[in-house]
Amino acid sequence: MILKGSLAPESAVLKMGIPDGKRPELFEGKARVYDDTAVAMREIRDGTVKAGDVMVCRGQGLKGGPAMGGGASLILFAIDAVGLARDVAIVTDGQLSGLCLKGLTVAEVAPEAAVGGPIGLVKRAMPSASAWRSVRSSSR
């Protein structure tokens, strides 16, 4: 699903995960902001990232990051590996593999942080609802 909004005035791609009756269709939480994939991975591993967090992973896009280097996909797979795919939302300016069907993810946020996109203004602990309206699925 393609979105537009305050964090993605041009566009973003919503991936809601596999429709199994258990996936979240509404998510609100506090932002946990990352500009570095390695730091995000470490905080997932050590339990700093908790249920209810919205991981905002920026600098992952074509201009600001490794392009198709896969940082955003690594973060999503790590969240799934620790059992938080349904409990943590991810917002990123990076691209995701087509296999990333876990949890609620908003990817390819444009414009990306590297070119001055609003995702670069998000601060740690900012309520996601103030910067990004909750997403509801219209497909039931």
- Residues annotated as catalytic (active site), given as ranges: 97
Is residue 2 exposed (0-12), middle (13-18) or buried (19+ Cβ within 10 Å)? exposed
Residue 3 CA to residue 106 CA, distance in Å, equals 9
Q: Is the dihedral of CA 63, 69, 73, 74 positive or negative?
A: negative
